[in-house]
């Protein structure tokens, strides 16, 4: 390098140099500002593995999941021995193992082209779906062990006209009842032009019993059609998801589905001119601690680059953030939803945008606060990062993991990456609800030195299976709340609360009038928040202990309905409870045969008979639940008045005198 000796400076030259330095400093500050705006300073991005075709290709629409061995599991749409998709696992060092290559024999009875990720169930097995293949070529539900033994659990289109659905396109959900729930894009009996039905919703038990619970696009197609996003189960016990919509046809919606399969559309997108409320929701929904659901749309918003939105369980939608890649708000085409991080923020990816060199850029990984403030954690660079990320998950040791599509990676077949943002380690619960005595699978790390497990502070017995896997029995007196695992050096908290399911085993008496006290006996009743008797809230209730609650029968309660107890962990019912009528007063107190007597009390609805001194009235009329009128019959004797319903007979304390 050629060097230039120092020269003396004039005042004007010195000032000019100073100005240049100020300008340079300003430029540096601006560059630093944009760098900080684009990338969180605490994060580190690392490519873990590269797909090369033989070990899989195109892991599109796949969220990774953590297994009981601490490794991550996923699927690819293509690649493998038959180039029809794989199931793989990868460890923290980046060692990728192909567990299964689909279409092992002609006809692909094991399925081909998995289009979604896997779901871990208690015991460690994983369940997934394939879009094609199976006994009828219309897709499958499969189970695979961590060691790679695959079983086809269900083949779609087993019934005439594919009434049981075809082409599942979303991950399965392990629900509170222990069953798996999912959807298919096509099939069913709903009308949808020439597209072979509008899709179905189904449940399947871990033993393989398949049940269709809803046909989409039935009647006037008010529930839309072709569900392709995963279901989520909210705190109210119902399922929620999105219909993505189609360009030029339908903007998409958010719907609610009961466990019995009743669907209600909560919100239809692009209600506003130019769609500032978003269009084409994709990737599913996640519920936050405040009870609202959160998700993303691939389009719409103020710049038509997509939105981050919240929606209440009643259907009120709020746009919290509009992506605007061209103005430096990096990222667009946010088509895979968000996840809720252990720190309470939301994390996700945009399939396009950012600062990478790809056409339309290579995509980003981002963080969003609950208020919608965005931080771009990383802009992918195509090679070696990959291009077109889809989906994100947070492992229990803190970092986030995701995959990129076939448009990225050195082999142009996709990658798996890790992004660390300095978040703390936690534990993950395979199932998040259960009764006392239920065995709960807990995933994490550092369990070799585990010294205790507690359910919201109530200690539990546990078995240390491995350094990444513990099983614990829900203890007596367990409370709905955070599960903690304690080791010699740390305490790990669960990323979700565990809901302790209440149980009602008995109640007494079996028959009680309005105003009477009923004693409820069961398990896990400490956190009781409501008691329903006869279809109405109890007049009052008192938690006596974890196994006992007393409640007062309310006015207007209907007979022969179950008593329902609701706690922080769910609901339990027992019954039916007989509620006989109760006579409070009558007037007049005496009279001859033919006198009209007005009887006041409770639970008169459904009255089947009235007697005066044991003689049945030939004429009576129920005015409302608290009043009936009766005519003193011929042959009536002085004595009590009795009213009979299906709940029993109520007798007056005073006598009616027949003159």
One domain, residues 435 and 476: yes
- Burial of 530-567, coded b for 16+ CB within 10 Å and e otherwise, reads ebbbbeeebbebebeebbebbbbbbebbbbebbbbbbb
Q: How many CB atoms lie within 10 A of CB 187?
A: 30
Give domain status of residue 343, yes or no: no
One domain, residues 520 and 648: no
CATH number for the domain that contains residue 95: 2.120.10.30
One domain, residues 472 and 515: no
One domain, residues 487 and 559: no
Q: Is the pTM of this model over 0.85?
A: yes
Last residue within a domain, chosen from 228, 245, 279: 228
One domain, residues 489 and 520: no
The pLDDT, as a whole number, for residue 39 is: 41
Closest CA to 217 of 240, 183, 172, 247: 183
CATH number for the domain that contains residue 536: 2.60.40.10
Walking along the chain (659 residues) 10 residues at a time, the average pLDDT comes out as 31 32 32 36 83 92 93 96 97 95 96 97 98 97 98 94 94 97 93 68 97 88 86 96 79 95 95 94 95 96 96 98 92 94 96 87 94 95 88 96 79 91 95 97 95 97 97 97 96 96 98 97 98 97 98 96 96 97 97 97 97 96 97 96 97 97
One domain, residues 488 and 516: no
Chain-centre distance for alpha carbon 374: 24
Give domain status of residue 454, yes or no: yes
Give domain status of residue 32, yes or no: no
Give domain status of residue 526, yes or no: yes
Burial of 615 (0-12, 13-18, 19+ CB in 10 A): middle
Give domain status of residue 267, yes or no: no
- Burial of 628-640, coded b for 16+ CB within 10 Å and e otherwise, reads bebbbbeebeebe
User: Three-state DSSP class for 539?
Assistant: coil
One domain, residues 122 and 100: yes
Last residue within a domain, chosen from 525, 546, 577: 577
The pLDDT, as a whole number, for residue 358 is: 83
Boundaries of domain holding 489: 428-500
One domain, residues 124 and 209: yes
One domain, residues 552 and 567: yes
Give the separation between CA 339 and CA 348, rounded to whole angstroms.
6
One domain, residues 485 and 538: no
One domain, residues 112 and 124: yes
Give domain status of residue 141, yes or no: yes
Give the separation between CA 576 and CA 507, rounded to whole angstroms.
10
Last residue within a domain, chosen from 469, 500, 531: 500
Give domain status of residue 466, yes or no: yes
Chain-centre distance for alpha carbon 394: 17
Domain count for the chain: 4
One domain, residues 488 and 509: no
């Amino acid at each position: 390098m050629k060097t230039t000796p120092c020269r003396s400076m004039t005042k004007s030259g010195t000032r000019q140099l100073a100005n240049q330095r100020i300008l340079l400093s300003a430029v540096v500050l601006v560059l630093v500002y944009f760098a900080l705006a684009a990338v969180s300073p605490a994060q580190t991005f690392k490519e873990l593995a590269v797909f090369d075709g033989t070990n899989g290709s195109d892991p599109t629409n796949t969220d990774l999941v953590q297994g009981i061995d601490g490794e991550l599991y996923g699927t690819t749409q293509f690649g493998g021995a038959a180039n029809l998709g794989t199931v793989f696992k990868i460890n923290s060092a980046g060692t990728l193992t192909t567990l299964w290559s689909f279409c092992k024999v002609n006809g692909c009875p094991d399925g081909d082209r998995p289009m979604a990720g896997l779901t871990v169930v208690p015991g460690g097995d994983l369940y997934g779906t394939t879009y094609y293949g199976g006994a009828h070529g219309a897709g499958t539900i499969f189970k695979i062990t961590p060691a790679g033994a695959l079983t086809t659990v269900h083949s779609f289109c087993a019934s005439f006209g594919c009434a049981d659905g075809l082409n599942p396109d979303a991950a399965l959900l392990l629900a509170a009842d222990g069953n798996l729930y999912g959807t298919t894009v096509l099939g069913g009996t709903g009308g949808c032009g020439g597209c072979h039905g509008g899709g179905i919703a189904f449940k399947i038990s871990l033993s393989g019993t398949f049940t269709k619970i809803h046909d989409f696009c039935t009647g006037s197609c008010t529930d839309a059609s072709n569900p392709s996003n995963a279901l989520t189960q909210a705190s109210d016990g119902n399922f929620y998801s999105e219909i993505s919509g189609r360009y030029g046809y339908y903007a998409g919606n958010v719907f609610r589905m009961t466990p019995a399969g009743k669907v209600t559309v909560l919100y239809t997108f692009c209600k506003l001119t130019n769609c500032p409320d978003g269009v084409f929701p994709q990737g599913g929904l996640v519920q936050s601690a405040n009870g609202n659901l959160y998700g993303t749309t691939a389009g719409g918003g103020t710049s038509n680059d997509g939105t981050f939105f919240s929606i209440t369980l009643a259907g009120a939608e709020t746009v919290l953030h509009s992506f605007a890649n061209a103005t430096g708000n990096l990222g667009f085409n946010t088509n895979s939803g968000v996840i809720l991080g252990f720190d309470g923020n939301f994390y996700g990816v945009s399939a396009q945008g950012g600062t990478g060199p790809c056409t339309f850029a290579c995509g980003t990984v981002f963080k969003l606060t609950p208020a919608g403030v965005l931080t771009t954690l990383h802009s992918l660079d195509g090679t070696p990062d990959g291009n077109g990320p889809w989906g994100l998950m947070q492992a229990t040791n803190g970092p986030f993991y995701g995959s990129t599509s076939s448009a990225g990676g050195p082999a142009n077949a996709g990658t798996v990456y890790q992004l660390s943002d300095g978040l703390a380690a936690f534990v993950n619960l395979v199932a998040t609800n259960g009764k006392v005595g239920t065995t709960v699978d807990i995933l994490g790390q550092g369990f070799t030195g585990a010294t205790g497990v507690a359910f919201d502070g109530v200690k539990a017995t546990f078995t240390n299976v491995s350094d990444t896997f513990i099983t614990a029995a829900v203890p007596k007196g367990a409370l709905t709340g955070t599960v903690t695992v304690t080791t010699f050096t740390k305490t790990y908290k669960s990323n979700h609360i565990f809901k302790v399911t209440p149980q009602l085993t008995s109640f007494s008496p079996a028959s009680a009038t309005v105003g009477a006290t009923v004693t409820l006996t069961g398990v896990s009743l400490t956190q009781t928040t409501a008691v329903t008797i006869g279809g109405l809230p109890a007049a009052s209730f008192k938690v006596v202990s974890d196994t006992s609650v007393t409640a007062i029968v309310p006015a207007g309660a209907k007979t022969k309905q179950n008593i329902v107890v609701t706690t922080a962990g769910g609901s339990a019912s027992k019954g039916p409870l007989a509620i006989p009528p109760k006579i409070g007063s009558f007037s007049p107190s005496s009279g001859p045969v033919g006198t009209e007597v007005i009887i006041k009390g409770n639970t008169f609805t459904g009255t089947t008979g009235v007697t005066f001194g044991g003689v049945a009235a030939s004429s009576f009329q129920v005015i409302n639940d608290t009043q009936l009128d009766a005519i003193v019959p011929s042959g009536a004797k002085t004595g009590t008045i009795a009213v009979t319903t299906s709940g029993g007979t109520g007798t007056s304390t005073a006598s009616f005198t027949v003159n």
